[in-house]
Structures are given as structure tokens and as C-alpha cells.
Amino acid sequence: AQKITQTQPGMFVQEKEAVTLDCTYDTSDPSYGLFWYKQPSSGEMIFLIYQGSYDQQNATEGRYSLNFQKARKSANLVISASQLGDSAMYFCAMKGQPNTGNQFYFGTGTSLTVIP
Amino acid sequence: IAGITQAPTSQILAAGRRMTLRCTQDMRHNAMYWYRQDLGLGLRLIHYSNTAGTTGKGEVPDGYSVSRANTDDFPLTLASAVPSQTSVYFCASSVDPAGGAADTQYFGPGTRLTVL
């Protein structure tokens, strides 16, 4: 069964510092995708970054990078130079192969607060 | 502006009433999804449609029905609402779920539903 675990219900970070949000997953699919979404207080779900299980390099998108450790089944999100606007809920999600269902499996989220 | 629209933004509904949540996308994506978001549980898939004319059940389908008459629209119907269906409902779409693990899902702004 597919499963995503986010063990940090809440995190605090000082403005301009870097922060790592943890995500571990469980799957038997040989090919899968890992995603991070941001949900600000306004409620919308914003796609941030994607990592494929066969990608050789960690994904990066601006200040966001994904620390992918396949053997440990972890896909941590790193936000560099935190800004006040980064305060939000962050969700990790996984998608497997079509033959095991096309749905995304979401973690329970981490609430990040950036302190001025 | 291309994207996903949902209506209504919010709704208070008496138990036992019928309600349809609307979702429209203009990105010509093949697949569409309905999720519900509850505190502490993350997002859970209700129903999905990989292409117009087809639908499938997700993790929590009971009490909900969907239809996909065309590419753009994917309404979610609660035939007889119950208080446990109080939640925030998100519609999402993706290009091609059969394309593998890289098929990113993009979300609408959500509908906040309260069933009394």
C-alpha cells in the first residue's frame, strides 16, 4: 500500500534562514513521483516541486529543493532564505504507476511559520 | 486565465438536502479529481475521471457521485448530505494520468461545505 508520512505537525523558522520539511513514503512501485504543495491561509493548493524516482539529481525550483534519498524512502523539502510569505501548510504527495491507481497519496501536512 | 474554477466558494446546507459542487477546467486536461480535506487527515480522493465518459472511485466515495460528460466539467453530487460531509472540497486536473508518475495535479480554489 502507498503511504506518505509527515511527522512534523508544525515548524518555525527565522526569516532568511533555511528550513527542511520531512517526508517519508512507502511504496512497492518501481516508478513513482513525489510532489510538494503549498497551501497558504487563503486555501488554494499550489504545486511547488516534483521528483521522479528515477531522476539522478535532486529537483530544484528557485528557493525550493527536494532532498531525495531513495534508499531511505525520504523526500524532504528544503526552503532556502525563508520569507514571511512562506508561512503556510506544506503537503507531500506521491503518485504511483497507472496500474496501481492514478491517485495522489497525501501526507497530513506540516504547518510552517516564518518568524520576522 | 487558464485554470480550474469551482462553485460555490462556500455553502451551508441542511442535512438531507441534495447538493452539486461544480468544477470546470480550461486546460484541456484529460483527468480530473475530487478530494476532500479534513483537519489532520490531509487530502483524500473521493472520485476521479481519467478521461471524458469514464469515472472511478477513490479512497472515500460513499455518499458522493460524479459524472464526466465532457472534458471540461466534473461535477460532484451529494445526494443526501450528512454532517460528516462537512469539509473543504478540492477539484484537480492533470494532463494524462497514464503518462506515468510525473503527471502533476493542479488544484482549484476549493469549496467550503458545511452540513448542519
Q: Tell me the DSSP string of B36-88.
A: EEETTTEEEEEEEESSTT--EE-SS-TTEEE--SSSSB--EEESS--GGG-EE
Over 60: is that where the pLDDT of A100 sits?
no
Question: Given an 8 Å threshold on Cβ–Cβ distance, is B100 in contact with A53?
Answer: no
Q: Retrieve residue B17's grid coordinates.
A: 438536502
**Contact list, B108 vs chain A (CB under 8 Å):** 44
- Per-residue pLDDT tens for B55-90? 999 889 999 999 999 999 999 999 999 999 999 999
Nearest to A36 by CA among A55, A54, A51, A24: A51
Residue of B nearest to A52 (CA): B102
- Give the pLDDT confidence score for residue A36 in this predicted structure: 97
Question: Given an 8 Å threshold on Cβ–Cβ distance, is A37 in contact with B31?
Answer: no
Are A96 and B32 a contacting pair, CB within 8 Å? no
Residue partners of A67: CB distance under 8 A and separation at least 6: A20, A58, A74, A75, A76, A77, A78
The chain A residues in contact with chain B (CB within 8 A) are: 4, 29, 31-33, 35, 37, 43-47, 50, 52-53, 91, 93, 95-98, 102-104, 106-109
Over 70: is that where the pLDDT of A9 sits?
yes
Q: Retrieve residue B113's grid coordinates.
A: 461545505
Question: Given an 8 Å threshold on Cβ–Cβ distance, is A91 in contact with B43?
Answer: yes
- Per-residue pLDDT tens for A21-39? 999 999 888 888 999 999 9
